[in-house]
Amino acid sequence: MDVLGDGLVEALRLLLTGDEDTWAITALTLRVSLSAALIAFLLGVPVGALIALRRFWGRRVLHAVANTGMGMPPVVVGLFITVLLWRSGPLGSLGLLYTPTAMVIAQAVIATPIVIALTAAALQQVDPDFLLQMRGLGATRLRALGALLGEARLPLLAAGMAGFGAVVSEVGAAQMVGGNLAGETRVLTTAAVLATSRGQFALAIAFGLVLLAIAFAVNLAITFAQHRQAANR
């Protein structure tokens, strides 16, 4: 209990005193994870919509791959990205390993299957005649699709947030491709692991509490949006 109390006090001290290292780590965490979640959203929503709305060869296989990717261990993703970006690897000449860019790539790979699978599930729940009705009212194919996405906007938002939640809290891939370099690639999760390995439990708990605060803020925003939509119906 003393350790938890010390961790809470340390978290408040680090944030309220404007500790530069803590704010830098927090800012990098948000920058990397939000970038990865945005990429995953931009890639995942179209693919998820394609799976939900179209019939094509390999559709079920693609859907199965996305569902499987939802449970893929981040350390496996980190391993493959590390091999690709290693100096002797196919993309080694880019010099991206142990940089925030490599972390964004790894986290985007983790989040994209989640967004695809949840988007497909959300759009499959919409009335299948919705697009036909929109087309019957004279809407173009693109406008009808836009209306459909608008109808499912909250589930799509939840899909994006699920992708963000998956990457902001992961440590395996971030540490493998980022290297946990102080001032360069250290994020909240890897900083917490490092502090724990050094026996600095209060500091590790402080980083964990900051991470929980970020997750709570994201989920609170979604909850308010859901209740606002329910109130407007």
pLDDT digits (tens, 9 = 90+) for 18-63: 677 888 898 999 999 999 999 999 999 999 988 988 888 888 999 9
- Domain total in the chain: 1
Q: Map 17-29 to HEC letters.
A: CCCHHHHHHHHHH
| pTM for the structure as a whole | 0.86
- Is 212 among the domain residues? no
Q: Which domain holds residue 172?
A: 25-187
Taking alpha carbons only, the member of 68, 211, 82, 225 closest to residue 156 is 225
Q: What is the pLDDT of residues 160-207, one digit of tens each?
A: 888 998 999 898 899 999 999 988 999 999 999 998 888 888 788 888
- Is 115 among the domain residues? yes
CATH number of the domain where residue 78 is located: 1.10.3720.10
- Is 232 among the domain residues? no
Taking alpha carbons only, the member of 103, 122, 104 closest to residue 114 is 122
Q: Which two tokens stand for residue 105?
A: 């790539």
